[in-house]
Every structure is written in structure tokens, then in C-alpha cells.
Structure 1
């Protein structure tokens, strides 16, 4: 009797298992449908990362700079006590440009609202391609964020699209593009008054993920109300932000901005940029601004301002000053995602021939984001410089696989006799 009753129970278990298997196969098949995949992919990926981080939490404190032999870093940065949050002087190496005499501009309208922009809600992890698509659509381009993403980040897990990558894409389809640091409120108002929407890079506090980078499109301002209007692919259409809020969220990214315009209006745009049409003057001014703001900030804000200073000094050729600025930013404590968004730090330590620092930072970045092609590439360069050719080839291959449009690692593989 026990044996007879066990058989139906066994059959029920087998049938239940078969139904479960069929259900899973149907779900898997449905997940391959593009529309379903587009709407569920980010949830699956977010869940995967959370499970992975639960069992193996990534290090989220950017490594401190290694100690250097006495005399290898210029005073007074070496003698300071950065852990207290005190301001450390980082003396530029004499490469900063003097400020040109400002041009007296015509009075700006008290308020401007550019009509004709169409808001786009971004796909998951797609603010750069979506914001660029909004700007290009305004000028008559008929593509979508899927088109921009295919060129800018063929790997959906890529967490960073740089301003320079967006500018290069716009130029590749016939537009003119100008990217600059050191954006100002009046400078943006002048551009908006001329009818040019402005892409800017900003920070954003996400409920689940914390601090992150983001892009938005400025389309209007009201001077009396002290506010700007943005088309934000994550937060919504025509989002108002105050002047103070704009400066606060813009500072972590060096007040970087990008304009894409029809080629026929390129000369007009350069005239509006004034002296900062010369990009070295723009970076020189940005460095001077960062030096000033270091004294006005503390904590993470000051660390990010030192990071800005490092980017700006590198751009004007002051590698030693840039390295010391990045040292200080790391000592004060920068958000770990900064290494995803602003890879100039690798280039500076590489130029300073501190190859182990490059490897240490890249190892850390890849521990938090295995899809950072820039971290793989710069670790490859450091390994190549240290004669670790096998490791270099592996890193270059990983970078090239993550982004088929990233030419630098492919060129490196060709140079080393490995097939890209």
C-alpha cells in the first residue's frame, strides 16, 4: 500500500519538475524578444550585481597613493597633512595661460526658453546616448538613442560614455562639436540665448546605487528666478534647477559641457566661446578656478576639486602638478565611480612613469566594474611598459572586446603582433 501511494506522489513531482522546466524555458525564450529584453534587462542586471555584491562586496575606497622616495614630489604638497582636510597647495609648473582681457558682451535677455527640443526617456544606463540624441534631434537628425548607443557603447554594461566620445560621434555624422571645461552660468546663458542647447555633465544621487555621473540638456533660463530648465533623460522633461544647484551638481565634473551644432553655425559658436574657443585657455582657466575652489570646499567636494585640478593641469602639460593633484584627491577620498567616468588619472600616472600606480588603480576600478574598457587599456599600457607582454595583450584584448569601436587597444594589439 505504501509503495502504491508513493508512485502517484513521484509522478506528481516529476510532472511538477517538467512544468517548472517548461516555464523557465518559456521565460528564457520571452527574454530574447527585443521589446521584453529592453524592459527587463536592467532589472536582471541590477539583481545580478546586488547578489554578487552581497556574497562578495567590492572594495569601494579608492586606494591611497604609494609612498614615494624623499624629494620625488615637490613641496609644499608633500609636507601637508591632507587627512585633516586642510588645503594643500599644488603649485602648477608654470604652464597656465594668463587670462585674456574679457570681451564686453551685449546684455542677455532676462529669460530664454529654446523651443523644439523633444524629451527622451533613457534606456537603462544610457543617459549619454539619450542626451546626445535629444540634442541632435533638435538640429534635425532623425536617429534615436539606439543609434547613438550602438556607436558609443556597443556593450550595454559600459558604464561610461565620455564627452569626447559624444563629440566624435556628432562629427562623424556631419555636425560640428565643441567640448570645454569651465562652464559658467553667464556663459551658458549666452549660448542658450543664441539658440544652442547645452549638454552638461553632472552628478546624481541614486536611491539604490548612491553617487553617480549623469548627463542632461540645458534648454532655458530665467535670470530673475535664478534658475535653469533642463531636459533630463532620467528625471523628466523641463526640469527646473536653481543657479546654485546647477553649480553644485556640475562642479564634480569640472563644469564640462558639449555643444553639437550644424557645421554652418560652427563659426558662430566659436565666436560665442570667446577666448575659450582656444581649448588650452579654457583648461588654464579651469585650473585657476579649481585652485580657488579648493579653498572654498572641504571633504568630498574638495577631493573632487583636486581631481578637477589634476585633469586641467594634465591638459596644459603639467604632469607633475596633475599627479600631485590626483594624489591629494585620493588621499581626501573620491567616490569610487570617478575612476569609471574620468580616466585621465591613468594617463597622468602613466606619463609620470608610475606604472604600478596605474595597475593598482585599474585593478580597483575593475573590481567594481568589469566593463571598464579604459581600465583594461591603461592597465595594458602599464603592463607593457613593465615588459609584462602577456598580461598587456590580455588587457588590450579585454578592452577591445568590451568596445569594438575603441581603437586604442586594437592598435596596441597590432603593434604587439596579436590579432585584435
Structure 2
């Protein structure tokens, strides 16, 4: 990552239109807020129908948000992992707000995934200025002040994932800041090494996330065997956590273990993990888990059960392409 250009000790970008999310609408709302900086005039009611055709869908993935930007606006977008606070500050100082995906301990609800739009920082206070769709005071230009340490800690829960939206004519600036991280393979290699170093410097829940991140990065590098072993270690740490500390919704948001276990032939592990995720949900609006359970059932010879799960996946996310592709292959209408 480039660090050659000095940046100011504080900055706050203006022009973002804050909005409080409606129920279960974090991703669509944060995407709309980030787009508003670049003059986009829509809101969460414009983003949500395309990002989550079923209003009860539990999660919007970063790739889905990126697809919206590419298909519905004249802006460009890049999604990367393994970020750090210095990189965030470089982008903000250059005039680019950044969407981050992070964990959140939300009162009695427990651990959930969350997005935030970061639009400023202040080294003297040690904080980022965040536009948050759930909490914070946003009148008179105020933002939610998030300490650097808190961002780093909770951002780890999602592999330090960041989404950057930019006009096409500013691509050179973005790539200059990214440096080697422009290349996806280099990015996952870097993030895998970052996670590996963290594993041996952390404990408890933070170590769980570090192991999980290592698995996710190896999965994207198609080292499914290495990824599966990393996820195994993550789940060992998870089992030792106090129940109230467990991020039990993890598979709602990050489905890497399904890939790793499926592509190493561990179909029963996929089946059991997906079933557990579906059963534990207050409402099983989890198209990815239904899809992966269907794949596992099919691999184990339960074709009828697989078809049923593919169809259920589409009930929760109409138009979910992976499930449609499998049903087309099987010659089944939907």
C-alpha cells in the first residue's frame, strides 16, 4: 500500500446525506449514503429492492453492493480486504469516503454484522468520523466518533473488508493508494499473512476472527485444504468461548467454510453447518445457507432434498443466480 504522500492530521469530508436504516436495511442504507457523496440522489428505498428482493433477507454481501454500483450508477467501485487504519486515512484524505464491513455487539441482540461509512478522522482525538445508520447524532454536521482502536478491533470481524466508490476519471488516484493491493491475488496473499500474524498475537474471540480470516483469504486463493484447516481451528476457538461471546450469526455474513468444506469433499460438514445456521436463525432468510445445504445434499445423493432447498433459497432471494443455475442444470422449473 502506498504511503508516499503526506496527509493532514485531521479531515472531515462533507456532502454525505445521512439516513437511519429501516429494519434489516443496513447494507442498502450505507450504500445510499456513500453514493450520496458523489451526487447520487437515491436512498435506501432505491437500493434495497435490487440488493435484497425479499425484504426479510438477512444480509447483503459486499459483492452485491459492488454490483449495484457497477450496474445502476455511472461510478466505479472496488472491494478489497486486509485494510488498516492508515489506508483508510489515505483514502479519506484524498477525498474518498470508505464503506467498511465490521462487527457490532448490539445490546441484547448480541453480535451482528454492520456497515459504516467513514468520512473523516482526527489524529489529535484518535478517532474516525463515521456515518452510522443505526446510532449516533448527525444534526448540525456532527458524526459518530469511532476510536481508532475500536475500528481496528471490530473491523477484524470481517477480514478488514472495505468498499471504495469513485468516479472513473479518478481511478489513477485510487490505484496509486492501493499499490500492490490493486491485484486481487496480491490482496488475498497480503490479508492471509496479516491474519496469520494476528493469530499468534491474539486470544479468545479476536483469535477466532483471525483464524476465520485466514481461512477466508485462503479460500479466495482456492487453497481449499488450507482454508478448511484454518476454519477448523477457528471453530475450536469458538467452542471454547463463553456463549454470550460467540458470534453465532457468522455464517449469515461470511460463507467461506461452505466453500472450503465442499471443495474438500466434506459434504456432511457443509450439511451440518448449513442446517445449524438455518435452524438457529430467528427467521431462515439465508439464501446462501439454503444453497450450500442443497449442494451438499445433492453430493450425498439426496436429489429431492437438494431441489427443495434450492427452491427455498429462491423464496428468500428471488433471482438468486447460483440456485437458478443449479435448478436449470437439473431441468427443474421454479
With the length of structure 2 as denominator, give the TM-score of the two structures.
Answer: 0.93
Aligned pairs (5 A) from 1:90-239: 103-173=2-72, 174-236=74-136, 237=138, 238-239=143-144
The aligned counterpart of 1:65 is none
Which of 151, 171, 184 is the equivalent residue of 1:279?
A: 184
Matches of 1:124 and 1:344, distance apart in 2 = 26
Q: Secondary structure at the match of 1:332?
A: helix
Q: Secondary structure at the match of 1:258?
A: strand
Q: Is 1:258 paired with 2:163?
A: yes
Matches of 2:292 and 2:280, distance apart in 1 = 16
Matches of 2:315 and 2:215, distance apart in 1 = 30
CA contact (8 A) 2:15 2:36 kept: no
CA contact (8 A) 2:66 2:77 kept: yes
What displacement does 1:304 show? 1.4
CA contact (8 A) 2:224 2:259 kept: no
Matches of 1:104 and 1:235, distance apart in 2 = 32
Q: Is 1:397 paired with 2:296?
A: no
The aligned counterpart of 1:409 is 323
The higher radius of gyration belongs to 1
What displacement does 1:359 show? 0.3
Give me the CA root mean square deviation.
1.2
Q: Is 1:377 paired with 2:291?
A: yes
Matches of 2:303 and 2:190, distance apart in 1 = 40
What displacement does 1:107 show? 0.9
What displacement does 1:230 show? 0.2
Which of 303, 315, 325 is the equivalent residue of 2:208?
A: 303
The aligned counterpart of 1:338 is 250
What displacement does 1:103 show? 4.7
Aligned pairs (5 A) from 1:5-44: none
Matches of 2:88 and 2:209, distance apart in 1 = 22
After TM superposition, the runs of 4+ consecutive aligned structure 1 residues lying more than 6 A away are none
What displacement does 1:282 show? 1.1
The aligned counterpart of 2:241 is none
Q: Secondary structure at the match of 1:121?
A: coil
With the length of structure 1 as denominator, give the TM-score of the two structures.
Answer: 0.74
Give the stretch that moved more between structures: 147-156 or 264-273.
264-273
Matches of 2:90 and 2:107, distance apart in 1 = 34
Q: Any gaps of 5 or more consecutive residues in structure 2?
A: 239-245
Aligned pairs (5 A) from 1:5-84: none
The aligned counterpart of 1:352 is 264
Matches of 1:354 and 1:212, distance apart in 2 = 27
What displacement does 1:385 show? 1.6
Matches of 1:358 and 1:104, distance apart in 2 = 42
Q: Any gaps of 5 or more consecutive residues in structure 1?
A: 1-101
CA contact (8 A) 2:3 2:177 kept: no
Q: Secondary structure at the match of 2:144?
A: strand
What displacement does 1:295 show? 1.1
Matches of 1:341 and 1:419, distance apart in 2 = 28
